[in-house]
Amino acid sequence: MILKRMLKEEWRTQSKLYRGRYLAVLPVMIFLMTYIGGRVLTGFSLAPVTDLGLLISAFGFFTGLAAGSIGFSSKDAVENVLGDSNFLVFSSRTLPVRKMVLIRDFLVKDLVFYLGLYLGPVALGAVLVSSQLLVYTGYMMALFVAGLFLSVFTANLAVKIPSRDSFLNYGNFPVPPLSRKSVLDISRSSGGLLKIVMSMGVLLGLYWYIVSYVPIASYLLENLLMSFAVITGMMSVTVYNWLNTYDGVKDYSYLPVDSSKLLEAKFKAFKLVSAVIVAVVLSVAYMIYGGNLVLALAIGLTTAYYIGAITMYESGLNPNEKMINALVFSKFLIAVNILVMPLLALTSFQSNPGPILAVLLPMLVIGKVVESIKT
């Protein structure tokens, strides 16, 4: 009985995060991404199929970590993400049920739920790509369980440790109060601002893997710092997604704030956080690879601003929901690729700033126009 209710609780929790019906199509999208990505990797790259197997195995482990941490959310994460909620796994404090029984059912629930929602579609897509990946799907399942156990263990310890105040506060960074709240919501939740860094880090790591093993993408290595600046700017879109994860317009209904003011505040927070991250990442890349740092910063910051503006225009205050919509995502890709792809091609083959600046200028103008329309 408790296990059944935990499964229902998990569905409702995930539906709240993914906005209902979009959660139902998530397994289909994961299957298609795994199958298409696997076909591209095995058919058009120099990477052995075992590399895909290792990626699948790693996916299982990190999914297990994420699954356990959601169920054993610390107090700040529960309040920020899910509102005034209490999970069944904590009900031993109010019901005559032993804690170990609840933890056992929790682990079984996650195994069943995530097998159907994530692991199953990945396994099916991988096996259809190559039968050699069958053994790696087994590794993925085993590592999911290992990650789940590890997450439950560490999360239980974390709940008992008092949270420390973030180094950020309402007085030490230069954006309006509403913008500061969005940044502070992230910094004070579990993982803090490191969540953003990790999100970008995973995407940038995938970029380096593709550049290293897919011959058609190897041209990006011709002018490394410049092309990397474009990619870094593109990846900063994850900042906007995180800033819109913890609240919505209804959370400000008691204040004289409408959706346009909130959208303006979110975008200002995005500009600040993404600018800091892009500048730091490119400065580190410059120390490693050399090149024209000033031009690289101009490319990275402009690309981040342009893609952030397009994301804001297409998805508003619900990027995590609307970007799952195929029509919205298609319009986003078209708007982005019109200018970003030519910029990526230019930065890959030459370091002459003239043609590059000729693309950056319309990106700035369009970004500013879009920002003024929406805010």
Nearest one of 235, 199, 229, 254 to 347, comparing CA atoms? 229
Eight-state DSSP code of residue 249? G
Torsion-angle region of 261 (φ positive above 0: left; ψ -120 to 50: alpha; else: beta)? alpha
- Predicted local confidence at residue 74, as pLDDT: 42
List Cα–Cα distances, 121 to 10, 20, 35, 56, 184, in angstroms.
18, 19, 9, 11, 36
What would the pLDDT profile of 315-331 be if each residue is shown by its tens digit?
A: 888 887 777 666 777 78
What residue has token string 């601002």?
193
Nearest one of 166, 201, 174, 172 to 284, comparing CA atoms? 201
Instruction: Give Dmax (Cα) for the chain.
Output: 72
Q: Per this entry, what is the length of the chain?
A: 375
Measured over the CA atoms of residue 284, residue 289, residue 294 and residue 298, the dihedral's sign is negative
Distance in angstroms between the alpha carbons of the first and the last residue of the chain: 49
CA–CA dist 188, 183 (Å, integer): 9
Six token digits for residue 151: 């997450």
Six token digits for residue 93: 């404090």
What would the pLDDT profile of 167-190 be if each residue is shown by its tens digit?
A: 556 566 667 778 888 777 777 665
Model pTM score: 0.67
CA–CA dist 218, 209 (Å, integer): 10
> In the chain, which residues have pLDDT < 50?
73-84, 161, 163, 165
Six token digits for residue 243: 């800033």
Torsion-angle region of 170 (φ positive above 0: left; ψ -120 to 50: alpha; else: beta)? alpha
Nearest one of 233, 373, 250, 232 to 318, comparing CA atoms? 250
Residue type, 327: L
**3-class secondary-structure state, position 24:** coil
Per DSSP, helices labelled H in the chain are: 2-18, 26-44, 49-71, 75-77, 99-114, 120-129, 134-160, 177-187, 194-213, 224-235, 237-243, 259-289, 293-315, 319-322, 326-349, 353-374
Exposure of 347 by Cβ count < 10 A (0-12 exposed, 13-18 middle, 19+ buried)? buried
